[in-house]
Copies of this chain bind each other. A is one copy, B any other.
């Protein structure tokens, strides 16, 4: 049986106006968690919103799980303000996380917006395992986790669209620059769909295969309801629908067929 049950909130830290880091006790039943995996979390006591919210783990320790949550609507609002000491109903870990080959030497990590949360989890995991990490993280305004990224990266860029204290621009541009200069054993990315689409274009140009963590509105979160589709290539001429929650959320960039913008 996989884990579905209550976990206690140990700590909630507000990182920005609308971003909260929630640490919960790790249930003993949960054995391995791979960076990029997520939990499907009940975000209500009243019953509304009805559906659980999928949230990636942004840090995994033996005793704790960490979720980093951006408040978008009712569900994330509720999660962000849930009292420390109270319990969350979670199920997981779910989906296929990043594929982390034992032979990785040097990798590149790309994150945009709240998408840096699972990337941070991956970064911490990799640097603990002595993989050399370069990273580029981009934000609309102020960054989150800049210290963690700087500390654990060999080379790090923090980019902001609006805030002139940071480098200006988009993740895609810096990504293109880096892959021209260096070669990586693997490249991992998570961020808004527009970012994933544009870095995939760059990757295609250089014949690179990225690991993308992709989002979608979910219901069951475990593969039973088929509402969270990713359109992927099926041979050279056809496509098929796979489940973002089950076959994903990690997909290789050369497999995904993006929706037109």
Contact = CB atoms under 8 A, between A and B. Distances in A.
A257 interface: no
A189 to B, nearest CB: 34
A21 B74 CA distance: 29
A49 interface: yes
A172 interface: no
Interface residues of A, number: 8
The listed residue with most B CB atoms (<10 A of its CB), out of A44, A46, A47, A49, is A46
A44 B48 CA distance: 10
A79 to B, nearest CB: 12
A211 to B, nearest CB: 36
A78 B47 CA distance: 12
A184 to B, nearest CB: 45
A49 B44 CA distance: 12
11 contacts: A44-B46, A45-B46, A46-B46, A46-B47, A46-B48, A46-B49, A46-B74, A46-B78, A47-B48, A47-B74, A48-B48
Interface of A: 44-49, 74, 78
Given A44-B46, A46-B46, A47-B48, 8 more contacts: A45-B46, A46-B47, A46-B48, A46-B49, A46-B74, A46-B78, A47-B74, A48-B48
